[in-house]
Structures are given as structure tokens and as C-alpha cells.
A and B are shown apart, each in its own frame.
Chain A
Amino acid sequence: MEAKILRAPSLPRPTGTVATLHRPWLIAALVAGLVLTVLLSVGVGAVAISPVEVLAILGHSLGLTDAIDETKTVILTTIRLPRVCLGLLIGAGLAVAGAAMQGLFRNPLADPGLIGISSGASLAAVGMIVLEVTVFQKLTGLLGYYALSLVAFGGACGTALLVYRLARVAGRSVVTTMLLAGIAINALAGALTGLLTYTATDEQLRTITFWALGSLGGASWTTVLTLLPFIMVVVLGLPRLAKSLNLLALGESQAVMLGVNITGLKRRIIVLATLAVGSSVAVAGMIGFVGLVIPHLIRLVAGSDHRRVLIGSALGGAIVLTAADALARTIVAPAELPIGILTALLGTPVFLWMLINERTTT
């Protein structure tokens, strides 16, 4: 034994050939883009507020500058700002959850909807709108406007949990089974939602339709503060799993060899994604494509390392949803376009372009 060389040969200093941070400016650019988007989108609307005025008003509220136009101050702080903050939170939450789901399913086309989060929320919300059951009415009396959000969130968590449970075979959750269970539960929830919609009155139908199309119209500081802890937990929590998600891209057995606790990882990702998507759907209804397209775009620019994909997606999602909402409330002013329509309208061509591009390059 003594004769053996038990030490690795000494290492030269790294030359930097492996130290590749692809396009390191991306995160900084996204942060700058986010600040710019916020400044511009709080300014657009029936009463235009220039970015300079926005900064002046914000400065005044911190006691730094003199007061300016009272009306604009009120519009900015009670209407525009909470709405932009809400868009920011929801965009960040949806995109980061989408990125994590794609990592978990090891499929760049995965989406939180796959495990039934959205369809469960929808079923619960439609059920509440249509059924007018005593429980729901009591809940509405108790919580008022927020009852619908709470029920939708409950529906989202319920279906995600059900899908996760169904996919547990002998103590292990199998990702492909989870996908299939998700498809089945999605179909079931869709059918039940359809059945409820079929029995709905005209007025209920209108409520359902608008809920399903998504809107940030219900924004207030209360909704923002309610949503904030959910999204913060997810936006701070998911990037901590980035290294494990990278290893998962190698395959489950390979990830285990590198010390990843697969069961724990799956559970955490599903809980966090459900929190983000469930709470977002509950507050703003169905907003499609953000969770699918944004992570994909970030990957195109920043590479596949989840440490950057997750953070980049959160920032990118915040930018896109904030901008889309600014557009949604201005292009058909004084009316408002449901934001879900806009994200799908803009997202689909981008997504198709990505698909075609991918086919031609690989």
C-alpha cells in the first residue's frame, strides 16, 4: 500500500477554457430592462406621466423632492403602481415556475399546466361562480372579493397534489407517470369545467370568460401584499435548486450519483411551482405562455445553466408581463384587453419561431 501514489497529480492554474459564463451581461441587462419597463408602464394610460414625473413623485413620497401634481400622485400610487407591481410579481412567478418545471420534466416544452395547476384552479373558480353553494356564499361573505382567489388557489394545490400522489409508485414518483396523470387530470378537470359552464347563466358565463382570459384589473396594494410572500418564497427558493436541476438534466440515475435527493427535489419543485402558479392564477386568472416562452428565450441567450435560467426567467417574466399589461390597458382604451389574450397573441408567434428555428439548427 505504501508504494502507491495516493494523490492526484498537482494541478496547473486554470487557463479559463472551462470558465465559460455565456453572455454574462444578460442578468444586468434584464435588471436595467425591468427598471425601464416599470418606469414607462406606470406612465402610460389615460393620464400620461413622464418618467421624470414618476421619479419626482417617488422622490416626494420619500421626502426628497417637492410635491408635484396631486392628481398624478394619486393615480400613480393608488392605481398604476400596485398594478405594475402585481404584473411584475405574477410575471416573475409564472416564468420561474415554468423554467423549473421544464427542468424537472427534462423537457423544454413543459409548462406548469402539465401537472394540472391551471386546470384545477379553473375548475374550482368556475365551480364557485356557477354553483353558488352555501359554503361558497359563506366564504364570499367572509372574504368578499378574495374568496374566488382563495378557492382557485385551493383548486390548484388540490390537483397538483392529486397528480403527484397518482404518480407515486412504490414510494418513488416517476416523472413520465406524473406527465400522464397530469394529462388525465387535466382532461377530467376540463370536462367538469365544461359541464359547469354548460349549466351557467349568461351572467355567470361572462364572469367565467373574463376570469379565464386573465386580467390584472383587480390590482390593489392588498392583492400585491397578499401575493408578495408567495412569489418571494418561490423566486428566492427555486434558484437554490438550480444546481440540482442542472444535474437532473443528466438523467435521474446520474443525478443520484452526484448526490441529488431526487424525491426531495421533485417535491420541492412541485410545491414551489404550485405556490407561484396557483397564487398567480387565483389573483389574475389564466395567463398563458409566459411560463413556457420566457424560460425558452432566456436559454437561447444565456445557455442552459439553471442558475442563470431561473433568475433570468424571473426577471424576463416580470418585464414581459408588465409590458404586456401596459399594452393591454392602452391599445383599446378606455376599455381593457384581457392580458391572457395578449400574451397568447404575442407568445404564439415567438414560440413557433423558436420551434422552427430549433428544427433548422439541430
Chain B
Amino acid sequence: MLQASHVSYTIASRTLLNDVSFHARAGELLAIVGPNGAGKSTLLKLCAREMAPASGSIDVLGKPLRGYAGEQLALFRGMLHQQNTLTFPFRVGELVLMGRYPHYGAYPAAADYAIAEAALDTVGMRPFSNRIVSTLSGGEQQRVQLARVLAQIWDVPDGLLLLDEPTTGLDLLHQHQLLDVARQMARRGYAVVAVLHDLNMAAQYADQILMLRNGRREAYGTPRTVLTAPLVERVFGLPVQLLDNPCHHCPLIVPIPIFQPAFSHYSSNT
């Protein structure tokens, strides 16, 4: 579905990404993990074609990403950004229908309304469809924005869903619901790429994990192969212990507390 080969990105002589390759397959959820400033969001933006890589190539469905027209990509590639603002007081229903704009001309068809409703149902925000978006809480707004992105690519055969830290601002239940939705979308045949911070959530939901540090690929593979104690410790600078998650068939990462006097751990390098 989406193939990135030797992708690098440089801005003002700072290298944000250096020779990163991965393959997001249809039917799989790929999680991009790594410490702050590792280049996760930059990589996702390159995949969305918000920016163009300095070198290397990104192909979607076997065709170079830059060869697509913007309108063409909008039909099957949806992206949920980290920050979402809405300038004017739109209603929830109107916002979700905006996801359908690439698919209809002047007026939405019955199917567009049906998709908008189904997308709102998926995130549990259907009862709010008449509310003004800005009157919702931050987490609710995030779920509505997800519904908009889901509506955009709801009925296409080869969808590409990009999620940039989608769980930010959500409570525990909705974090899991969101990743469950993402996994369901993958099971429907979409390629889903999500930037995630929580390694345990990545372990539980992702089919593949791409671990970045300082713009370089540190590891890439299934959760079991990527999430090892030495690697996590090296990449995140935090000693961890790996257990078997008693409820799911995946590793469980437990940080080992660093017992040190307050504040001194900021300068130490353990």
C-alpha cells in the first residue's frame, strides 16, 4: 500500500529523518514510536504528502506519491492531525460531512449522510451531531475529528489512514476505543499508520512497529521483535522490564523506577 524507501528530510541544514524505509501493508496497523523529536510526525507528514522528502521515495499503490493530484489523494488518504482547530462555529454534523466533500459536488447524496452518521456512531458521538464543535470537550472534539477522517475514506477499497498521536487528550476508554477503531479499519483492508507514544498500546494494537530515534530507524518489525528491554532502554534512555501481558498476547513494558534524589536524574544518563 505505502512503501517508503530511504527517505530523508532536511530543513535548514538540520536532518530530521535519515534513510528511513518501511512498508505499510493493506490490512495492517503500523505504529511509529520513538522519543520526542525522533521525527515521527515528520515521517507521517511525508507519507501524507504535506511535505516532500529531500531524498528517497514514497510510493502509494505502486505509484510515486508525488504523481498523484491532491484531489485524487483526498479520495482515499485520510489524516488525523495532532492539533485540530476550527475557526467558525460549525456543528458536529457539518464537520463530519466535510470529510465527504472530496466525494460529492454541490450536494451530498444520501450515502454521504449515512456514512457521516456511521462514522459518528463509530466514535460514539452521534448524539452530539447538532452541537457546535467548540462547545465540546477537547477529547470529544478529537473524536469528532476522527469521525471526519473516517468518513472521508469510509467506502473506498484501498484506504490509507494516517493518525498523528491520535490518543492525545482522550480518556483511557476512548484511547482504547480509538485504537480498536484503527485496528478494525486495518482489518477492513486499509493500511493504517499511527504515531503512538504509549509503547504498551502499540504492543497491544499494532501489527508492525517502526521505532525511530534522532531521525533514524532503530528497529522495525512485529511488536515482539521490536520491543525488547535493551532496545527500549537504549532508544528511550529508560531501563524497563518486559513481562508477558496476562490479558493479551503481547509484551508488557514496565519502566523500572530510578531511585535518585529529586531533579538529579535530569542530568544523569542512566
Decide yes or no whether B36 CB sits under 8 A from chain A: no
Decide yes or no whether B90 CB sits under 8 A from chain A: yes
User: Are A106 and B87 in contact, with the CB atoms below 8 A?
Assistant: yes
List, in ascending order, chain A residues with CB within 8 A of B78's CB.
257
Inter-chain CA distance A165–B101, complex, in Å, is 30
Chain B nearest CB from A294 CB (Å) reads 15
User: Are B27 and A4 in contact, with the CB atoms below 8 A?
Assistant: yes
A298-342 near B? 1/0 per residue, CB < 8 Å: 010001110000000000000000000000000000000000000
B79-93 near A? 1/0 per residue, CB < 8 Å: 101011111111101
User: Are B88 and A259 in contact, with the CB atoms below 8 A?
Assistant: no
Inter-chain CA distance A171–B58, complex, in Å, is 23
Q: How many A-B residue pairs have CB under 8 A?
A: 124
Decide yes or no whether B188 CB sits under 8 A from chain A: yes
Inter-chain CA distance A108–B89, complex, in Å, is 10
List, in ascending order, chain A residues with CB within 8 A of B64's CB.
none
Inter-chain CA distance A12–B115, complex, in Å, is 9
Which of the candidate stretches B116-124, B217-225, B255-263 sits at the interface with the other chain? B116-124
Minimum CB distance partner of B99 in chain A: A258
User: Are A256 and B81 in contact, with the CB atoms below 8 A?
Assistant: no
Inter-chain CA distance A299–B94, complex, in Å, is 14
Pick the residue among A4, A108, A362 that contacts B26 (CB under 8 A). Answer: A4
List, in ascending order, chain A residues with CB within 8 A of B155's CB.
8
User: Are A253 and B99 in contact, with the CB atoms below 8 A?
Assistant: no
Decide yes or no whether A17 CB sits under 8 A from chain B: yes
Main secondary structure of the interface of A (DSSP, over half): loop
Inter-chain CA distance A211–B110, complex, in Å, is 52
List, in ascending order, chain A residues with CB within 8 A of B84's CB.
250-251, 254
User: Are B90 and A254 in contact, with the CB atoms below 8 A?
Assistant: no
User: Are A258 and B94 in contact, with the CB atoms below 8 A?
Assistant: no
User: Are B187 and A257 in contact, with the CB atoms below 8 A?
Assistant: no
Decide yes or no whether B62 CB sits under 8 A from chain A: no
User: Are B117 and A17 in contact, with the CB atoms below 8 A?
Assistant: yes
Decide yes or no whether A23 CB sits under 8 A from chain B: no
Minimum CB distance partner of B93 in chain A: A18
User: Are A259 and B117 in contact, with the CB atoms below 8 A?
Assistant: no
User: Are A304 and B94 in contact, with the CB atoms below 8 A?
Assistant: yes
Known A-B contacts A11-B118, A14-B113; the reply to A258 vs B189 at CB < 8 A is no
Decide yes or no whether A356 CB sits under 8 A from chain B: no
Which of the candidate stretches A71-79, A121-129, A241-249, A343-351 sits at the interface with the other chain? A241-249
How many chain B residues touch A (Cβ–Cβ < 8 Å)? 52
- The listed residue with most B CB atoms (<10 A of its CB), out of A1, A17, A243, is A17
Decide yes or no whether A22 CB sits under 8 A from chain B: yes
Decide yes or no whether B97 CB sits under 8 A from chain A: yes
User: Are B86 and A249 in contact, with the CB atoms below 8 A?
Assistant: yes
Which of the candidate stretches B13-21, B66-74, B239-247 sits at the interface with the other chain? B66-74
Known A-B contacts A4-B187, A257-B78; the reply to A17 vs B93 at CB < 8 A is yes
Minimum CB distance partner of B91 in chain A: A20
Minimum CB distance partner of A307 in chain B: B106
Minimum CB distance partner of B156 in chain A: A8
Minimum CB distance partner of B45 in chain A: A253
Pick the residue among B115, B118, B130, B134 that contacts A20 (CB under 8 A). Answer: B130
Pick the residue among A108, A247, A256 that contacts B98 (CB under 8 A). Answer: A247
Decide yes or no whether A107 CB sits under 8 A from chain B: yes
Decide yes or no whether A19 CB sits under 8 A from chain B: yes
Pick the residue among A14, A247, A257, A362 that contacts B79 (CB under 8 A). Answer: A257
User: Are A18 and B129 in contact, with the CB atoms below 8 A?
Assistant: yes
Chain B nearest CB from A2 CB (Å) reads 11
Chain B nearest CB from A283 CB (Å) reads 31
Pick the residue among A1, A6, A251 that contacts B188 (CB under 8 A). Answer: A6
Decide yes or no whether B102 CB sits under 8 A from chain A: yes
Decide yes or no whether A65 CB sits under 8 A from chain B: no
Q: Quick one: which of B14-67 are within 8 Å of A by CB?
A: 26-27, 48, 50
Decide yes or no whether B136 CB sits under 8 A from chain A: no
A97-121 near B? 1/0 per residue, CB < 8 Å: 0000001001110000000000000
List, in ascending order, chain B residues with CB within 8 A of A258's CB.
74, 98-99, 101-102, 152
List 27 contacting pairs A-B, 8 Å CB cutoff, sorted by A: A11-B114, A11-B118, A12-B118, A14-B110, A14-B114, A18-B117, A103-B88, A106-B87, A107-B87, A108-B87, A247-B98, A249-B87, A251-B81, A253-B50, A253-B81, A257-B48, A257-B50, A257-B78, A258-B74, A258-B152, A259-B71, A259-B72, A259-B74, A260-B70, A303-B89, A304-B94, A362-B134
List 17 extra interface pairs beyond A17-B126, A18-B96, A249-B86, CB under 8 A.
A8-B155, A11-B115, A14-B110, A18-B116, A18-B117, A18-B129, A20-B91, A20-B93, A249-B87, A250-B85, A254-B79, A257-B78, A258-B102, A303-B90, A304-B89, A305-B90, A362-B134
